[in-house]
Structure 1
């Protein structure tokens, strides 16, 4: 599978939260978010907790639990927003799912390129 470089933007990282506090990120800065997202992509722990909370865990698409032990995430504040650089071989569907669990719709994909 090809590695991709995702360029994301978060307008207000301090208030960026997922809909369900059981899975939502609870930090306030770019370094903490980068670390949390990186762990969420390298491990299936967040996915497993989310799947266990679903009404029918066996009906959940297992492909959403894919991981990339080599995923790299960097985040920094630039001009009053947070820019996130993510390099992974995970498909966008998995990246999007983990982001929504952690920070809901508070992010925007700015660009996507081959890494």
Structure 2
């Protein structure tokens, strides 16, 4: 069984945090919506598959970026009036988590810590 990790993330301004490709970008209204979107993006291959279909050579995309974790779970809370703290537990490697986060909210996030779950 793959090791599960607990990622601690921060988003400075969720209201402005959007990914670079509008059809793939997060468009929710708050931390709970974002947590649900991130959980879905890690549990399901749909976001990855939509992104892959947009690539010039979809068949050349590394399939390792498309792995999923059916047990992934994200929780998000507002801290300091604007910053959103995200607790993510998943067995996915950081490269996959980073890719999905970047699709959803671009570079508007920071990894604050990571520990074995």
The alignment partner of 1:22 has SS state of: helix
Residue 27 of structure 1 deviates from its aligned partner by: 1.2
TM-score normalised to structure 1 length: 0.99
State the match for 1:83 in structure 2: 85
1:1-115 paired onto structure 2 within 5 Å: 1-80=2-81, 81-115=83-117
Gaps in structure 1 of 5+ consecutive residues:
none
Q: Is the 8 A contact 1:41 1:67 kept in 2?
A: yes
Gaps in structure 2 of 5+ consecutive residues:
none
Counterpart CA distance in 2 for 1:85 and 1:19 is: 23
Q: Is the 8 A contact 1:68 1:89 kept in 2?
A: yes
TM-score normalised to structure 2 length: 0.97
Q: Is the 8 A contact 1:15 1:28 kept in 2?
A: no
Counterpart CA distance in 2 for 1:27 and 1:97 is: 19
For residues 39-82 of structure 1, give each alpha carbon's deviation from its aligned partner in whole angstroms, at most 9, with x where no partner exists: 00000000000000100001100000000000010000011310
What stretches of structure 1 move > 3 A for 4+ residues in a row? none
Cα RMSD over matched residues? 0.5
Counterpart CA distance in 2 for 1:26 and 1:53 is: 19
